[in-house]
Amino acid sequence: MGREPEADMSVVTALVRSAFLVDATYEQVARKHQLTSQQGQLLCVLMGKPEEGFGMGELVRTLGLAKSSLTGLVDRSLRRGLVRREADSTDGRAVRVFLTEEGDKVATEFYDETVQHIAELPAVLSGEEQAQLAKLLERLVLANQVPVVFGDDFHTCAQQD
């Protein structure tokens, strides 16, 4: 694949192409761990509250999936031994989803490797440019209330400077 000529991109083009770049990286790491990218997202979300787990409604909102799609995703992850369901202690009709021991291991490996690969993407930028990009993207994400599906506080490996 040839390199395209240098060109000024609009912010829309740059954001869309950046999203494709990150998605492709995420998908590549997920495949290596025999996950779908949605399973990877689910595991990363569940890492955020290991003791509390997540209710199905919370997962629907966080992952942006239809309830039936989430149920299928959780069922497939359950069969693989990555998650477990438990009755919600405050609402007997509801269930909460937690990582299993195996799920925690796979989630940590997936998360660490994803962080490593994505951290390599901006290597063409100086440290100052990377900090500026992070601040701009942070403003964009916060202003658009993007749910936390992946974050620096999930695992110590992500605390990279």
For the stretch 73-129, pLDDT in tens is: 999 999 999 999 998 888 878 899 999 999 999 999 999 999 999 999 999 999 999
User: Could you give the CA distance from residue 141 to residue 122 in angstroms, rounded to a whole number?
Assistant: 18
How would you list the strands of the sheet with 54-55, edge to edge?
54-55, 91-99, 83-88
Tell me what pLDDT residue 8 has.
86
Tell me what pLDDT residue 161 has.
28
Tell me what pLDDT residue 107 has.
95
Tell me what pLDDT residue 4 has.
61
User: Could you give the CA distance from residue 149 to residue 161 in angstroms, rounded to a whole number?
Assistant: 21
What's the CATH code, domain 12-158? 1.10.10.10
Phi and psi of 92, rounded to 5°?
Answer: -60, -20
Q: Which residues contact 105 (CB under 8 A, 6 or more apart)?
A: none
Q: Tokens in use for 26?
A: 């995420």
Q: Tokens in use for 94?
A: 């509801």
Tell me what pLDDT residue 153 has.
58
- According to DSSP, the β-strands at 83-88 and 54-55 are unpaired
Q: What angle do CA 42, 46, 49 make, to 5 degrees?
A: 160
pLDDT band at 152 (very low <50, low <70, confident <90, very high): low
> Is pLDDT larger for residue 30 or for residue 51?
30
Query: In the 8-state DSSP scheme, what is residue 122?
Result: G
> Is pLDDT larger for residue 161 or for residue 43?
43
pLDDT exceeds cutoff 70 at 45: yes
In the numeric block, the tokens 């997540």 are attached to 54
Tell me what pLDDT residue 159 has.
30
Q: What angle do CA 130, 109, 40 make, to 5 degrees?
A: 80
What pTM value is reported for the model? 0.80
- Specify the range with the lowest mean pLDDT, choosing from 23-27, 104-108, 114-118, 146-150: 146-150
